[in-house]
């Protein structure tokens, strides 16, 4: 007999809706303690952690791992952060394997976590700001909406750089808009990295408009002793279209473009940027930087500009020869 045939119809419906995972308390509404004990002891079912049963004895699927974690935690816990975002289509770095990734849960503050399944890495964050508006009403396993998932993921990252990469990737992958993320930040006054997240979202949305010429001059040009660039420069691109350039050093024919949403794999940024910086605008070398990188990593930006200057000087020497 299959597990469906072994169960009362109402219990089978619960198992179907939760990928063959259920709480013991739910199962006991339909089976006696002896019947449940026999299912587990006979090897037909398994109990991956206290309070949870699964209607097979083999390895858990990824979705079953998630159901086990969230049901085991109890207390209105939901899947959150990177785990929830990836369920909704968020792509993180290459090699990020779900089976090895921790399961991030958001749990209402003041309620204890009931059980943590051994063998499943679970990271629990507590929140006093977790209401119905934060949780998707239909998607299963229960999880936060994508905007809350992205903001929480950024807040929980180990580094500021990782936080900025999550925000940029979520918008670049068109899973969420900046205007969807900002209300989540506003609603949580105790959000970790709240100022950094707000400023980064402004830079992602506005690109060069958010990071003014004065900011670029202060952070990169004056901060690292670069020559003053030309302003409000207009040049034709490779197809003859007029391009208004953010920053230009005419003598070296070096252009800096400050972008909002960047097209890159979030944690492979540094390698991808080097390839993107080889793009040419006619006879000019074009360096492209996301606005948040200019703001928070001006030393890297200055080093790349100096590298472009050296290449320009080398070209000039070869031309003279």
Q: State the average pLDDT over residues 66-77.
A: 91
Q: What is the model's pLDDT at position 232?
A: 62
Is residue 250 domain-shared with residue 135, that is, in the same domain?
Answer: no
Give the rounded percent of residues in the chain with a pLDDT score beyond 90: 48
Structural domain that includes position 7: 3-54
User: Is pLDDT larger for residue 288 or for residue 210?
Assistant: 288
Q: What is the model's pLDDT at position 278?
A: 43
Q: What is the model's pLDDT at position 15?
A: 94
Is residue 222 domain-shared with residue 199, that is, in the same domain?
Answer: no
**90 and 169 Cβ atoms separated by less than 8 Å:** yes
Instruction: Indicate if the pLDDT at residue 231 is higher than 80.
Output: no
Q: What is the pLDDT of residues 260-310, one digit of tens each?
A: 654 445 554 444 444 444 445 667 888 888 888 888 889 999 999 999 999
Is residue 79 domain-shared with residue 129, that is, in the same domain?
Answer: yes
Is residue 82 domain-shared with residue 192, that is, in the same domain?
Answer: yes
Is residue 41 domain-shared with residue 88, that is, in the same domain?
Answer: no
Distance CA 153, CA 42 (A): 41
Q: What is the pLDDT of residues 90-149, one digit of tens each?
A: 987 655 665 568 999 999 888 888 888 888 899 999 988 888 889 999 999 999 999 999
Q: State the average pLDDT over residues 31-37.
A: 93
Is residue 316 domain-shared with residue 184, that is, in the same domain?
Answer: no
The last residue of a domain, from among 177, 206, 235: 206
Instruction: Look at the chain and report how many structural domains it folds into.
Output: 3
User: Is pLDDT larger for residue 318 or for residue 266?
Assistant: 318
Beta-carbon contacts of 156 under 8 Å, excluding residues fewer than 6 positions away, are 81, 82, 104, 123, 125, 192
Question: 77 by DSSP, 3-state: which?
Answer: coil
Is residue 201 domain-shared with residue 89, that is, in the same domain?
Answer: yes
The last residue of a domain, from among 206, 228, 246: 206
Is residue 244 domain-shared with residue 190, that is, in the same domain?
Answer: no
**CATH code, domain with 304:** 3.40.960
Q: What is the model's pLDDT at position 282?
A: 66
pLDDT bucket at 10, cuts 50 / 70 / 90: very high
Distance CA 218, CA 228 (A): 11
Is residue 201 domain-shared with residue 68, that is, in the same domain?
Answer: yes
Distance CA 229, CA 244 (A): 14
């Amino acid at each position: 007999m299959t597990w469906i045939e072994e169960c009362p119809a109402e219990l089978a419906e619960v198992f179907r809706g939760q990928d063959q995972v259920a709480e013991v308390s739910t199962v006991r509404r339909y089976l006696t303690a002896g019947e449940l004990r026999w299912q587990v002891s006979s090897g037909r079912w398994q109990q991956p952690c206290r309070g949870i049963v699964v209607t097979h004895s083999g390895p858990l699927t990824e979705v079953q791992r998630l159901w086990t974690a969230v049901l085991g935690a109890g207390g209105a816990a939901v899947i959150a952060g990177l785990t929830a975002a990836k369920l909704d289509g968020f792509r993180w770095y290459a090699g990020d394997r779900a089976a090895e990734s921790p399961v991030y849960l958001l749990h209402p503050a003041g309620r204890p976590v009931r059980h943590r399944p051994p063998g499943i890495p679970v990271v629990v964050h507590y929140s006093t700001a977790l209401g119905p508006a934060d949780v998707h009403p239909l998607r299963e396993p229960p999880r936060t909406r994508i905007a809350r998932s992205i903001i929480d993921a950024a807040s929980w990252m180990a580094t500021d750089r990782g936080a900025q990469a999550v925000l940029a990737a979520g918008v670049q992958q068109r899973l969420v808009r900046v205007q969807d993320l900002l209300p989540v930040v506003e609603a949580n006054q105790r959000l970790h990295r709240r100022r950094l997240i707000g400023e980064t979202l402004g830079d992602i949305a506005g690109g060069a408009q958010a990071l003014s010429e004065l900011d670029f001059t202060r952070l990169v040009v004056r901060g690292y002793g670069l020559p003053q660039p030309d302003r409000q420069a207009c040049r034709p691109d490779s197809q003859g279209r007029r391009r208004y350039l953010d920053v230009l050093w005419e003598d070296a024919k070096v252009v800096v473009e400050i972008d909002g949403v960047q097209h890159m794999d979030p944690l492979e940024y540094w390698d991808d940027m080097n390839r993107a910086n080889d793009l040419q605008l006619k006879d000019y070398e074009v360096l492209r930087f996301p606005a948040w990188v200019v703001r928070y990593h001006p030393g890297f930006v200055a080093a790349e500009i100096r590298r472009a200057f050296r290449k320009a000087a080398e070209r000039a020497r070869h031309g003279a020869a």
